Structure 1
Amino acid sequence: MLKSISCTECRKQHRKCVRTNQSVECVRCFRMHLDCVMPSADHLQDQDETVDGSKQLRQMKASVAVLQSTIQQLELQMHQLQQPPDRLDDMDTASIGSQATTASLTPSSSTSSATSLTQPGHPLELFTLQQYLQDMYTHVSAEPHPPLLMQVVTSSSPSPLLHHPPRPDDLLLEKGKEWKVTFVDGRWQIDTGIKSMAELLQLQTKLYRQLSPFQGVSRFLEIELSQVDRHRQSVFQMSARVARNHLLLPPSTPVAWDRSRVPTMAFHIPNRVVNSLIKLHFQFFHDYLPFVYKDAYLAHLRQLKDPMQCPLTTALCSYVCCGYYKDIPPIKDLPWFNNSQDRRTVAEYFYERCRAVLDDIYDDPNRRLETVMCINILKRFLMNTLRVSEMRKLDTIAYLICMDLKNHYKHAQLVDLEGQPFPSPTPASPGSPPSSPSASPPTVSIAEHAVFARHYAFSAWAHVCLDFFTPDGPDLEGYHKSWDLIPLLPLPGESNTLRQYLEMQSHYFALVLAPAVYNLFEHIQTALLGYRVAFDLEIFLRFQSCTREWWQRLPPEFRLCDDPDDPDTIRQAIRDCEDDVKLVLYVFYLDLVTSCYVCLPRAKSMSADNDPGLLQQIQSMCVNASLEAAEMLMLIMARLDANISYSQFVGDVFLFVAVDILAHHAQSDDPDLVRKAKDKLAACFQVLENADFMEGHRVDLAASPLTHSLLDSNAAMFHLYNQYPQPRYALLYDLCRFLSPLNGYMPRTQRLETMCP
């Protein structure tokens, strides 16, 4: 079997294109009686282009922008044509087409986009526009004006026949709004005279300047986050550069693993091996990341004749084998499990078996939820092995399937495990379209509904995180508009620990999806990726107020202490806390607020007003808060390091966050801040060196492949870290050391002993 360039049909369906020797048609097209057509040279993908669909996404965004501009111009023209005849007679010397060009609704509209409406080859052809305007005008006017319509479409130059009408905003400023208030039948009635959406939108115009609550500042300060020097970047930015220049590109050679290293036990007794790995999954991971409903899955597993043909089972086995473990006694059926390299090899084996089945169920409409579950389980293995390109492709598939299934599960009629009707936890929203009387909602069990809700939330969050590594970054506002997360609810028979973590995740999503949070977070993440950003300081103040209110509304069983901003109180609460749920939620909270605090110290004011030290006070607060947050992260990670189950998902991520924060402040121009940051950074490196998950992943300094020239090139870097059991740990460790500003700095011993428990 020889694999060649994929045909057009296989490319559309994202399927393997395999053809036998000297065969004109591929196997799939021959089996499904399709036309097997090879793509032309113009459609072949560039070798330097990412393979995750970013190019096609940019093209679609450009097309949508053109269509949006086109519709906006049509709306302006139709609004003009709806004016009374006496208004048309009093117009000035500019044509409607000119007015549509100059009075665009959005800053993105331009003269070129307006005039392109009349040029052949535009997505909306000339004849289509003429017919569209004529058809629309017959519905809004009793006296059509064919010459005027033809002039709107066929001419984009000024015409002496028509005049500019007064702008609605100018009329509003000149005449104001006069509303008639009456009292009828015991009720107040207001006659505004508003008869169209355009007139209603005029009320958004600000006719006065809002006063600032700060003395000496007539309006909120506009600040700018300048672009970071490429030689003083953070771990986050360097990770994004590595992903863009290396990990999102197709590898020059496929990832190879030594099949001969797979223990013979995995081949000769697969059922015993699978059962042992599944048992480990439910023992260590299930309560914290419930990918499946335990009772239903175990019943399904007992009915399988060949577990190796079940993609869910092989995905779970790969998930268990791609982590680190501490102080686990020898397992009878898994004598190789304590060797990290053997676990990596077995994880590759199960991943390959899972993908072989997963690639055949993408198109099955009855197995879409199973497809999403398998992809979400495989994400940990793909990330740990630095297969970011493959992970993003699979994640996009899972995210799109979830968006397609959302309405199906959200408005379904639920039944319990015995088939009896069950009250729905997601009542229909007021804006949802009513279903037809004849159509009955689909029936879904509460177990299937709950599993989908968990995977939908996981897919949505992972999709945003992966988009940070793309050149354009994520569209948080667009995601927020499309997200409508289903409540995360426990199922009968699930443990109290699982219930607590589901409720904890629900509280965290409520914070992330708050408008005051994602508005600032979008600017901050853009700045973290190395771009220049400008926004009003009011956005940050609203963010602070929102996060504090969210913390005070937390139930006592999830709140670590009453004041999350008091370092002494937090430090003592961490030492006394025995509940991992409180610690994990506080880590999530710290990561969110600190990512914003760490960027503001380099902000500059763009306001013409005299700044009375407000920005400097906020910057000083952010510096102190981020330094304390890094120390809190170290303390919490030391506590959670004993928890094998969740520390693999949390500890190995947020400990690098602490390194990133301190390394950022260690490059400051303030010598006192540099000294404090380097003291804590040395302590953080000590915690990182002693972490269990770093065993076997400490890259030798002489063998480190990181150089500035290599980071900017398109050379393959994956094979340099693939020799380690978990390449992601090796890469992050190498990045932290590469960006470390210590250079032989000797910290104060007393401070180290205080911070390192």
Structure 2
Amino acid sequence: MKNRHTPCTECRKQRRKCIQISPDQPCLRCQKLDKICARPENCALDPNNEVECLNQEVNELNQAIQRMEHELKTLGIKSPLYIKNNTMTLPRSTIENLFYNWKIKINNGYFTIDTGIKYISDLLPHYTSIEYLSPMTSYSSSSSEDSWSDGGSILIRFKSQEYGGFYGLTGKMLTKWIKKRMLGQQALLINHIPCGSRMLLDRLVDIYFNCHNLYCGWLHESSFRKRYSQLKEPLDDLICASLCCYVCATPCDHLDFNAYQRRDMCDYFYLKAKEKLVDQFDEPDKRLENICLDLRSEYEAAKVQTGIDYALFARHFSVAYCLRITLDCVVNKPITRQPIPFPVMNTLPDELEETKDFIRVMTWVNHLYEEPFVDMLVEQIHLILIGSTCTISFETVARMDQFLLDFGKNIPSEWRLCDNVFDEAKCRKALDQTTNPVAIHAFLHFAVLIVILYVTILQPVSVNDENDLLLQHIQRNALEKSLKMSRLLLYGVQRLFKLKTLSPCHVKLTSMIIMLYLVDPIVLQCSSPIKSSVLEAQKMFQKCLDIICNIRGIQREDTPPQLLAEKKDIKDFIHNGSVDIDYYDRFPDPWCALLHDVSQFFI
């Protein structure tokens, strides 16, 4: 039997991980909190008792299965379509194959059923069998407009069939990275830079409010500065440590440090913020507050929420939703669903007009993602981004053009650059003529969504020869639209750099975010069978790389010569996702260095 580690009484009570270096020493958490590390007298589990417990769990699971089967049988008999379903006969071999493909296992007391089915698309080949076997048939609405299993609709499967993109590859990198031992704080202290000095922290706070907060409104300046002035140890405050980490991670012109120093400062403040975030779960008041925030989404608000705290919460909620979708792609997991509609984002009376305008743009973007049509598409294309297969009806694909065209016409008039977002010439002319940065931001957000929607249906999966012409038409239309919007995104970013009304630091940060979303679609465009489209995508990839390198401001002299002389075979990374983490970690910006090497494969 496997030896089990029994947590101490304190960690068990608080439901926290108990890390014990040595049996005769207190655990790390009790040492940190100065708690008495008491352990149960009988820490060692009796193997005989363990077997008895597992046998008892097996018996309980068997009883639960019997009760479930009884309930399903009763529900099936009560179904108004029971007689109709009972007349649906399938070959016995089909039913037996369906059952035999399911594997039931009990491992360490856990009961698992392995069906081999991960996504909805895996269910479609067995739809008739599932409908025949399921007692829930009568509860599915066959008249629903959004039903993809309607017998009259044409279902099309899409999948990234070649190298596809960077999301899955990044996930493999992170999986390998988290296995490495994190550096301690002492190893991250920077020579000649006192990270904990009040003077440096004051400077980082000023940079944040002068260069960044003006265009996102994540913090209420007067409230934060009043609270910040009362802090004896600012780095013991989670928000302050997070703010400093954010500023050091941005390509800000007001940081007089080289690339390596910025990297080390960012890592230092990140560890500080992470430490304070974890400590919150050891404070009873904070833990209760976090539980209440988590439960908030399950209940309707009794009245309209107002005030500074709620306004900031709504903004952070939207940003966290976007970040979570991106991280779901990176770690290769199904999309995390969020409650819709989003919390209403209100502006505050003492905020600047520029901040209020950008908050209104964020509110409009939320309305776009709240649309049921967009919400459904985002969930499906997420499967492609993580390397799986998605299934979309032909009617949905056909509706996409008109939906996006109509939604573009409904953009508020003060931000709307062009009534037809697919008219490239008019959009370029409108971008040249406008001096309103808010309008350009709204256009860029909309264009990013359009590119992602179209680029993910570039590679339909052919099931038979009957639909080949239809798939070719879908592929040509998706390629045309995605290339057009990619060109407009690059043009819009270049237009932002020419505006004098925006902070250059914010323009750089916005451009980096756009490049993050644009690089992956361009890689997918490089897999097109049309050579002219591939050449155009390669040129755009080079433009993206030039913009990223210019923004990050990484100079060749910042990189050790021996590191530049060492070459890596990037082909192995593209096809197998294997990458030398230690090698790229020695660069001041690992992502930029990796992207530069990847470009040699596509350009």
TM bucket normalised to smaller: 0.7 to 0.9
Partner of 1:525: 382
Residue 505 of structure 1, CA deviation: 1.4
Q: Distance in 1 between matches of 2:473 and 2:460?
A: 12
Secondary structure at 1:589 match in 2: helix
**Alpha carbons of 1:300 and 1:205: their partners in 2 closer, same or farther (altered >3 Å)?**
closer
**Alpha carbons of 1:68 and 1:513: their partners in 2 closer, same or farther (altered >3 Å)?**
farther
C-alpha contact 1:223 1:607 (8 A) present in aligned 2: no
Residue 487 of structure 1, CA deviation: 0.5
CA root-mean-square deviation = 4.7
Residue 568 of structure 1, CA deviation: 0.3
The one-letter code sitting in structure 2 at the alignment partner of 1:353 is K
C-alpha contact 1:369 1:452 (8 A) present in aligned 2: no
The one-letter code sitting in structure 1 at the alignment partner of 2:223 is A
C-alpha contact 1:594 1:626 (8 A) present in aligned 2: yes
C-alpha contact 1:641 1:691 (8 A) present in aligned 2: no
Pick the structure with greater CA Rg.
1
Matched, 1:628 2:557: no
Matched, 1:345 2:205: no
Partner of 1:141: none
Larger mean Cα displacement after TM superposition, 10-19 or 495-504:
10-19
C-alpha contact 1:252 1:716 (8 A) present in aligned 2: no
Matched, 1:619 2:475: yes
Partner of 2:142: 204
Q: Distance in 2 between matches of 1:547 and 1:655?
A: 22
The one-letter code sitting in structure 1 at the alignment partner of 2:261 is D
Structure 2 unmatched ranges of 5 or more: 48-61, 113-130
The one-letter code sitting in structure 2 at the alignment partner of 1:722 is D
The one-letter code sitting in structure 1 at the alignment partner of 2:283 is D
Which whole-Å deviations, capped at 9, do the CAs of 1:413-441 have from their partners, x for residues lacking one? Answer: 6xxxxxxxxxx15xxxxxxxxxxxxxxxx
Partner of 1:375: none
Residue 28 of structure 1, CA deviation: 1.8
Alignment equivalent of 2:35, drawn from 23, 31, 34: 31
The residue correspondences of 1:568-587 to structure 2 (distance < 5 A) are 568-587=425-444
Residue 458 of structure 1, CA deviation: 2.3
Larger mean Cα displacement after TM superposition, 578-587 or 678-687:
678-687
The residue correspondences of 1:191-270 to structure 2 (distance < 5 A) are 201=139, 204=142, 219-229=152-162, 232-244=163-175, 246-247=176-177, 249-252=178-181, 254=183, 258-259=187-188, 261-267=190-196, 270=197
C-alpha contact 1:262 1:346 (8 A) present in aligned 2: no
The residue correspondences of 1:417-566 to structure 2 (distance < 5 A) are 424-425=304-305, 446-471=307-332, 473-475=333-335, 479-480=337-338, 482-566=339-423
**Alpha carbons of 1:503 and 1:223: their partners in 2 closer, same or farther (altered >3 Å)?**
same
C-alpha contact 2:167 2:329 (8 A) present in aligned 1: no
C-alpha contact 1:560 1:582 (8 A) present in aligned 2: yes
The one-letter code sitting in structure 2 at the alignment partner of 1:452 is F
Q: Distance in 2 between matches of 1:28 and 1:619?
A: 59
Secondary structure at 2:280 match in 1: coil
TM-score, normalised by the number of residues in structure 1: 0.61
Partner of 2:449: 592
The one-letter code sitting in structure 2 at the alignment partner of 1:23 is Q
TM-score, normalised by the number of residues in structure 2: 0.74
Partner of 1:651: 511
Structure 1 unmatched ranges of 5 or more: 43-65, 125-168, 171-196, 213-217, 329-335, 372-399, 414-423, 426-444, 743-757
Alignment equivalent of 2:198, drawn from 271, 289, 293: 271
**Alpha carbons of 1:592 and 1:695: their partners in 2 closer, same or farther (altered >3 Å)?**
farther
Of structures 1 and 2, the one with the larger relative CO (CA 8 A, separation 6+) is 2
Q: Distance in 2 between matches of 1:283 and 1:650?
A: 16
Partner of 1:404: 295
C-alpha contact 2:311 2:345 (8 A) present in aligned 1: yes
C-alpha contact 2:450 2:485 (8 A) present in aligned 1: no
C-alpha contact 1:574 1:583 (8 A) present in aligned 2: yes
Which whole-Å deviations, capped at 9, do the CAs of 1:64-90 have from their partners, x for residues lacking one? Answer: xx9999887444422366699xxx9xx
Residue 566 of structure 1, CA deviation: 0.4
Task: Report the count of equivalent residues.
Answer: 541
Secondary structure at 2:492 match in 1: helix
Matched, 1:284 2:174: no
**Alpha carbons of 1:659 and 1:297: their partners in 2 closer, same or farther (altered >3 Å)?**
closer
C-alpha contact 2:381 2:456 (8 A) present in aligned 1: yes
Q: Distance in 2 between matches of 1:235 and 1:276?
A: 36
Higher helix share: 2
Which whole-Å deviations, capped at 9, do the CAs of 1:510-539 have from their partners, x for residues lacking one? Answer: 222322123222332222332233332222
Secondary structure at 2:214 match in 1: coil
Identity value in percent: 18
Which whole-Å deviations, capped at 9, do the CAs of 1:594-638 have from their partners, x for residues lacking one? Answer: 122223333245478667x54433322221222222221221222
Partner of 2:128: none
Matched, 1:321 2:248: yes
Secondary structure at 1:204 match in 2: coil
The one-letter code sitting in structure 1 at the alignment partner of 2:493 is M
Residue 263 of structure 1, CA deviation: 3.1
Which whole-Å deviations, capped at 9, do the CAs of 1:31-80 have from their partners, x for residues lacking one? Answer: 2665479899x9xxxxxxxxxxxxxxxxxxxxxxx999988744442236
Secondary structure at 1:291 match in 2: coil
Secondary structure at 2:281 match in 1: coil
Matched, 1:297 2:224: yes
Partner of 2:235: 308
